[in-house]
Amino acid sequence: MTPESLYWILRWIIANPEKEVHDEFTSPEYNSHAGERRVLMLAQDIVHCAPHGRLKTPKQVSTAMSVRHLSAALNE
């Protein structure tokens, strides 16, 4: 869902680039699952915002469904 170049630039920014070699598409040492989720979350937000919200990513769809289910439960 996210372009590879966007994923790598966000991963490079978040993984503290001062400690890494500055080669093109070098994978920084990044072993945190929470960090990977953060990178994917930001990438999906950027992909959603770029075409002014016309493209729905899994994050936006699941958030909308969660809010709908919670509001339906409150109204019962």
In tens digits, what is the pLDDT along the chain, a chain of 76 residues? Answer: 788 899 888 888 887 656 555 555 555 555 677 888 888 888 888 887 887 767 777 887 888 889 988 888 888 7
Q: What is the C-alpha to C-alpha distance for residues 48 and 56, in angstroms, rounded to an integer?
A: 6
Q: Please tell me the total count of domains within the chain.
A: 1
Would you state the pLDDT for residue 55?
76
Range of the domain at 70: 4-75
pLDDT on residue 49: 81
The pLDDT assigned to 29 comes to 54
End-to-end alpha carbon distance in the chain: 36
pTM value is: 0.57
Written as one string, the DSSP assignment of 13-30 is HHT-GGGS---TT-----
> How high is the pLDDT of residue 12?
84
